[in-house]
Amino acid sequence: MEFSGHNVLVTGANRGIGRAIALLLGGYRNKDDQPLKVWINYRSNHEEADTLKQEIEKAGGRAALVKFDVTCEEAFVEGIKTIADSDGGLSYLVNNAGIVLDKLAVRMKTQEFLQVLETNLKSVFVGCREALKVMGKQKFGSVVNLSSVIAERGNMGQTNYAASKGGVISMSKSFAYEGALRNIRFNCITPGFILTDMNAGLKDELKAEYLKSIPLARLGESKEVAGAVAFLLSDLASYITGETLKVNGGLYM
């Protein structure tokens, strides 16, 4: 995989898919033969984040911790500024942090709807906007936003999540127009059902039901999403922007 840039920020990287993305990116070297520096964002679990940092460094990579809650606009802006002011600036951003708060729509309070939008959509807007500002000056950058198969097909009990992830796709396309003027690409990934804590509560009967509709007949692994993210960030995808890449085992084609 070829990378022209230096620093990458991965939000919500202390566990799950974000961790796998950070770990994979930490193993790549750029065109100056330097390891990519991975900025590991986390909001509270310092131990998990620090263990990941050590794992990347042990394998010969470079990593740093950047603590903030993505829903706090000021803190997100400050986090991006710290990286932009560091050696190499901000080349890549992966907006990965996300939550679910599932409930049938008739029982869902408006506040529960908005809470999911706040984390999954508003924070992605703030991240993309700030990245566009700093990457615009460099005339280089690549952003990947984590959406979901739920944005494409909807789901029972996930009106809030579907709305947030659908918004991420359409918003990324608009950012792609604005970014293209300055050689900055914006793309999305729509993972299917991936084995992480987010799906830990899935009942066995429901899991079996989902498996019937997945042609590859298994749930996905975080590292399989990470591979697609790395590709879209990299120079190999230099002519791809405004695209949404499905990583779902065929669940939704």
Residue 91 or residue 95: which is nearer to ligand NAP going by CB?
Answer: 95
What contacts 88, CB < 8 A, 6 or more positions away?
A: 5, 6, 7, 37
Structure tokens at 139: 């005339």
Specify whether the backbone of 131 is left (phi greater than 0), alpha (psi in -120 to 50) or beta.
alpha
191 by DSSP, 3-state: which?
strand
Name the minimum Å distance from CB 102 to ligand NAP.
12
Q: In the complex with ligand NAP, which residue's Cβ is closer, 36 or 188?
A: 188
Judged by beta carbon, residue 5 or residue 220, the one nearer ligand NAP is 220
Contact 16, 32 (CB under 8 A): no
Closer residue to ligand NAP (CB): 91 or 119: 119
Q: Is 28 a catalytic residue?
A: no
| Residue 81 or 153 having the CB closest to ligand NAP | 153
Q: What angle do CA 230, 102, 172 make, to 5 degrees?
A: 35
Closest CB to ligand NAP among residues 3, 193: 193
| Least distance from ligand NAP to the Cβ atom of residue 205, Å | 18
Angle formed by the axes of helices 123-138 and 73-84, nearest 10°? 20
**Alpha-carbon span 218 to 6, nearest angstrom:** 35
Residue 37 bridge partners (DSSP): 7, 62
Applying CB under 6 A, the residues found at the interface with ligand NAP are: 11-12, 14-18, 43-45, 69-71, 96-99, 119, 146, 148, 191, 193-194, 196-199
CB of 57 to ligand NAP, least distance (A): 20
Beta carbon of residue 29, minimum distance to ligand NAP (angstroms, whole number):
26
Q: Which two tokens stand for residue 218?
A: 């298994």
Which of 42, 161, 177, 252 is labelled catalytic?
161
Contacts of 25 (CB under 8 A, 6+ apart): 8, 10, 36, 38, 92, 226, 229, 230, 233
Instruction: Let me know: does 240 contact 185? Beta carbons within 8 Å.
Output: yes
List, by residue number, the catalytic residues. Answer: 161
